[in-house]
Each structure stands twice: as structure tokens, then as C-alpha cells.
Amino acid sequence: MFFNLKYKIIFFFIVKTKIFILIFLFLGLKMFGQEESSRDSLLQVLNSKPNDTVKVNTLNNLAQEYLAFQPDKSIFFSRKALFLSEKKHFYKGFFVSINYISRAYSNKNDFDSALFYLNVGILKAQKLKNFNELITIHKRIGIIGIFKNNYKLSISNLQKALDLAEKHKIKKQICSINNNFGVLFNEINRFTTAKDYLNAALALSLKINNQHEEAIAYANLAIAESGLKNYHSALEYQKKFLGIANDLKMFEQMALSYISIAEIYFSLKKYNRVLDNSFVALQYFEKSKDFQHLSLIYRNIGMAYVAQKDFAEALIYLNKAIKYSKKAQEPDVIADSYLYLSKLDSAQGNYKSALLHFQKYKTIIDSIYTIEKEKVISEMLVKYQMERKEKENSRLKENVARNQERIDRQHLINILLVLSSFLLLIVVLIGISSFLRIKKFSKLLKIKNNLIINKNAILEEKNWQIDAQNTHLETQNLELVEQKKLITASIKYALKIQMAVLPDKTILETLFNEYFIFFRPFQIVSGDFYWVKEVSNHLIIAVGDCTGHGVSGAFLSMLGISSLQEVVNKHESLNAAEILERLRIAIKKSLNQTPEDKQNDEGMDIGLCVLDKEKNELQFAGANRSLYLIFQNADLQRQADLKKCKDIVLTSNQTHTLLEIKPNKQPIGAFFKESLFTNHTIKISETDRFYLFSDGITDQLNKEEAKYSSKRFKTLLLNIQNYSLPLQKKYIKQAFDNWKEHLSQTDDVIVMGFKLKYFELKT
């Protein structure tokens, strides 16, 4: 067989991508076909000369009727509605018109025109402060960005829409935007990320009882699961989608879903199921005469018949696929059909015909890649020519400026020469008349000239001294620059040493089911540190915040890590409070802190956990640092029990509860009122998430000199519990940067979140 593996891979990629884009388009934009009688009745209303508002609504309804299959007519009616609504200040109709115009141009693949009208809509929505419409328009631009493969445009506008929706608490829009993000990440094959957004959209749609967004979430989750080759999961999501779509009478979307289901069954090699679902989809699209989808269906049927070796039926449907794909200008479908015709001929022994069909397939595939390459080369050439032209214009401007400067200088010199000549003539005339007076005062002038010469000599001496001083200062400045480079290089090397003593990523991945570490030093090296140690059936986790930052803080953090390692290795007791007691003794000894040092600034704050994996118990002891534990509200008995505990504060939202275990108000180091550390012990669950952190994040100031605060940090953690821990790090970092904006960082920052891996429930 001469079918190259490379082309098989290309074929399957094209098939999957095509179906995914189609399903997104029709689900996201909700395009439905209507009966001809409906259009006639709308035209009768239009001819009856209704009032302006009714006329605008009727024109928009006609635009919707023609949107799917006659976009030019849709543009005609929606533009008339747009101009009339603008003239009459009927802004509800105005935004509906913007919607249909942009969608009609998108259906024609004229995305630039669609973007033009959407930007007109943005200006109007901003002027009217209509935030709901502004969000909707940014969503549509995000969708167009996906079609144009301009993912920067797509992400930028979807994020703007999401920020506005969250700011104004418009839950329906938040749900829709999460669905759109899911489509975007499906398109670029980041299926796991897509699932995070789609699951968030699904959860919110169920909460607000929005069946349309629920259906979209199921359909796109099916795409993500197919991309991850979880075909059975994909089928389950498609079935859930069909159940809702049937109730909502989303017949066209259901037909598209059957195409996608056929694709999944083809991957599972269940060819009878491919045929069953394809014929269901065919019943719908044969009525609509949609060449694009008919070509896909005929191709899939032909492929299934080839796989079943029913070559007579396969030949009929593959030829139909070629016929309709040519009308729809779908070269990838034509190529697929020729490829399977080649397989069909080869299986029947018609090798000459098989070779001919394979050559046609390869020619189309090569032309597709050639067009893409030529497009990229053309874009690069235009960009290069524009840059070169800009450079030439810049050089010309510089030359013109220099020439003008020379002309101005020469003009000034000419003026000075004329003035000098005139003054010289006057001097000569005056000199002739004043010769005797000049002679009389010549002796006096000589004396004055000698004085001037002497003064000039003194000034030259001073100038020389100033030049020497400047040279000395420049030398000193260069030395300071070199010293700064050496110091910076040393600090960066110290950072490598500091990072080397922190727990390795592979160790953390072994010990935790999920985790993240948001670690941002204030000055290259950090006074904050984290430490993890597994001892027997116990796991010790600590996050410390040393006095100061930069080099001094880094030295203390290294001392803290080595001291922790020493006190844990030397003693058998794994009581959290006792570990902190031994650590305080070690630090005071290392820093030469005597009993007389009642208030010493050197030391550290620390939160330390000890997990007993046999008893499912967590010990915690803290020196000025708390522990946050978050669990689900469904565990009502646990919530009631924890409310009775001492030094514990509970904060809840609708789905989760945050448990804060308070620390002792004393540091590790000399303190004016030292006391024993308190050891807290609680039972834990396998779904619990834990957070240890320094005060760098809560003490960060914004432009109004307000701290971020523990209250805001708790609210943030509760609001992101539906996301994985690595994704939570992204939201924490984003919240931190948004709070401080352009201001500098206040202190070292560390936040450690983790979920235990080896935890097993005991019965």
C-alpha cells in the first residue's frame, strides 16, 4: 500500500478540526432556519408602513431569517434597521442590528467588515454605559479572533468581557464567556484547560438554570474529551446535549451533534453507528441544501462504507461528497474523498485508478499547504517592506533635519559676517576720528589687556582642575557600576544557592496530589522560604518569613532551613509545637541572643504542619503565621464540630468553608514575653486543601496606601475553589498584580497551597 502515514495524520486532523469549528459556530451564534411563509408575513408587515420601532424590529427579524443561508440579504435588512434605529435613537434595535450585520459578514468570511461594525457598537455601548451590550460585543470579537486564528485578539476581548461581567455580576454573561474560553482552548488543542473553563460554565449554568448555556457546555466538553481521546466520555456529553437540545428545539445544532457523534464512532471503528448517526444528520441538511455539511456527511458515510468493504455504496457517497464539497469550496473534504476513493480502488485491485485518485488527493493537500505558505510569506514580505520603508523615511527625515540645520547655521554666519563688516566700517570711521584719543589711552589699554591675560590664565588653570575632577568622578562612577554588577552577580548566584536548598519540584510532586507555590522575592533573594520533609509516616510542611528581605533576609532563611533540618533529624518527637520550641532555641543560639535580649528584631515567623497519615490527623503550630484549611459545605457535621474548637475562625461562601487556625503571637527568636507554642490537632478529609503563606501578600499596599488584607485573601481563596491548585496560582498572582498595579512590591511574598497525595480514609 502506498498510503503515506503523514497524509493519514493530516486527514484525521482536518476532519476533527472542521467538525469542532462547525459545532462551535452554530452553538455559539444560534442560527436557525425558518419557513418561507414566515418571511412573507414579515414583508407584509414591512409594507404596511408601521411605526419606526416596529419597522426596525421587522427589518431585524428579516435579517435573522436570511442570516444562515442568504447573508447578503441579511446584511441589506440589518443595515436599513441600523440606520433607522440610529436616526430615531432606538438603541435596543441598534444593538440587535449590529449583531446581525456582524454575524452575516462572518458567515461570508468577511471578518474585517464584521469587526468594523462591532467596533462601532463598542463606541455606542461605551457612550451609553450599556455594559451588557459591551460585554456581548467583546464576546463576538473574541469569537471572530478564533476564526481568524488571531488568538491574541480573541483572548484580549474575551478577558475584557469576563472582567466587565464579573465586575457587574452578570452571571449569564460569565457563563457564556467561560463557554467561549472553552471553545478557544479546544481550538488550540489545550483540552485540559478548556475543560476547566467549560466545567465552570456548566456549574454556573446549572445554578442559574440556563439550559442553553448548559447545552453549549456539554457540546464543547464532548469536543475536549474527543481531543483527549476519551471517546466514551465524549459520547456521554453528546447524549446530555441532545436531551436538552431536543427540549429547546435546537434542530440544526442536533444535526451537527449527530455529525460529531459519527466522527467519534469512526474513531472507535463502530462503522454501523457512523452510518446511523450520519443518516439522521442527512435528513436535516438535505432539506436545507447546505452544501458544506452535506459534503461532510457524504464523506463520513463513504468512509464508513469503505471500512465495511461495501465498495458500491462507498463509491456513490464519496462521489456525492466530491460534488458538494466543490460547490461549498471545501478542499479538505475533496482531498479526504479522493484519499478514500484511492483506498477503495486499491482494495478492489484497481491500482491505476487508485494511484490517480491518490495523486489528486496529494495535489489538493499540497495546494492547501502552498496557499498557507504563500499567505505567510506575503504577510512577512509586506511587513518587511513596510519596515524598510519606515526606516528609509526615518533616514530621509534625519537628512532633511541635518541639511536644514546646516542652512540655518550658514544663514546665521552670513548675518554675523554682514553685521561684523558693518561694525568694522563704523569702527574704522570712529577710529579715524578718535585716533588721538586712542593714542592717549593706549597705555591704559595695555595695562587692562595684561590684567585680562592674567585672568584668562587663572581661568584656564581652573578649567583644567575641573576637567581633572570630572575625569576622577567618571572613573569612580565606572568603578561603582562594576561593583554593582559584581554585587548583583553575587546575589543572583546566592539565589541559585537558595533555590537549591528549597524542596525540589519532583519531591513535591511525589508528596502532594496537587500543589502550587507563588514565590516572588522583593530583591532577587528572599527572606521567605518553604520546607517539606517526610519522616516515617509523617509529613512536615513549613512556610517561614524571616526578618528583613534581600541578602539579610536570605541569610536568615538559609539559617531557618538548616535549623529546621537539624531539629527534626536530631529528635524523635514530631509534635508541631515542640518542633517550634526546639527551632526557637536553635535560632537564638545561632544569633547569639541572650536572655537579656527581650526585644530583638532578628528572627522569623513560621507556620508548621505535621500530618500523621495513619491517624488522618493534622498538627499545626504557628509563630505569628496562621494555617488556612478549606473544605466543602456539604460536610455539615464537620462544620458544626469545628465551630466548638478553640483559636479557630470559620469563614464561608455558598460552596466552601475556610478554617483559620490562629498562631501564637510571638516569633521564632528572642521575645519580651516568651511562652510555649500551642499544638492544634484536627481530623482531616481527602478533599481538604491547605494554604500556608507569609504576610507579604496581605500587607501589599495599593495606590491608595491600603493593605490587601487577610479578609480579601480569604474571599479570593473561597471564590477560586472550583479550579485546580495550579490554576488557583494564576488567579492569586493576577489578584496580587492588579492590587499593587504599577507600585513596587512591599515585601517578599510566598503562598503555598497543597492537597495531600497519600491520604487514605480509615473506616
In a domain, 744, yes or no: yes
Alpha helix positions (H), 434-535: 435-501, 505-511
Residues present in the chain in total: 763
Query: The CATH number of the domain where 582 resides is what?
Result: 3.60.40.10
Q: Could you read off the pLDDT of 551-597 as tens digits, one per residue?
A: 888 888 899 999 999 999 987 788 999 999 999 999 999 888 876 66
Q: Could you read off the pLDDT of 515-546 as tens digits, one per residue?
A: 999 999 988 888 899 999 998 889 999 999 99
Q: Look at the chain and report how many structural domains it folds into.
A: 2
Count of helices and strands (H, E) across the chain:
25, 11
What one-character DSSP code corresponds to residue 665?
A: S
Burial class (CB in 10 A: 0-12, 13-18, 19+), 572: exposed
Please give the helix or strand (H or E) that residue 142 lies within, else none.
helix 131-147
In a domain, 257, yes or no: yes
SS3 748: coil
Final residue before a domain boundary, out of 317, 352, 369: 369
**pLDDT confidence tier of residue 9, bands split at 50, 70 and 90:** very low
Which one has a higher pLDDT value, 259 or 757? Answer: 259
Final residue before a domain boundary, out of 335, 369, 403: 369
Co-location of 509 and 362 in the same domain: no
Distance CA 23, CA 39 (A): 26
Co-location of 543 and 690 in the same domain: yes
In a domain, 468, yes or no: no
**pLDDT confidence tier of residue 715, bands split at 50, 70 and 90:** very high
Q: Could you read off the pLDDT of 108-121 as tens digits, one per residue?
A: 888 899 899 999 98
Residue 599 pLDDT: 55
**pTM, to two decimals:** 0.45
Q: Give the structural domain span for 291.
A: 1-30+250-369
**pLDDT confidence tier of residue 24, bands split at 50, 70 and 90:** very low
Does position 49 have pLDDT exceeding 60, yes or no?
A: no
Q: Report the pLDDT averaged over residues 417-443.
A: 76
Distance CA 726, CA 710 (A): 21
In a domain, 8, yes or no: yes
Distance CA 256, CA 265 (A): 15
Residue 493 pLDDT: 59
SS3 700: coil
Residue 607 pLDDT: 97
Final residue before a domain boundary, out of 338, 369, 400: 369
In a domain, 477, yes or no: no
In a domain, 51, yes or no: no
Q: Are 242 and 261 in contact (CB under 8 A)?
A: no
Q: Could you read off the pLDDT of 632-669 as tens digits, one per residue?
A: 888 777 777 777 667 788 899 999 999 999 999 999 98
**pLDDT confidence tier of residue 168, bands split at 50, 70 and 90:** very high
In a domain, 594, yes or no: yes
Query: The CATH number of the domain where 314 resides is what?
Result: 1.25.40.10
Q: How large is the C-alpha radius of gyration of the chain?
A: 38
Q: Could you read off the pLDDT of 107-154 as tens digits, one per residue?
A: 888 889 989 999 998 998 899 899 898 999 999 999 898 888 888 888
Cα–Cα distances (Å) from 302 to 111, 327, 343, 376, 585, in that order, read 33, 18, 11, 34, 80
Q: Which three cell numbers stand for residue 590?
A: 545561632
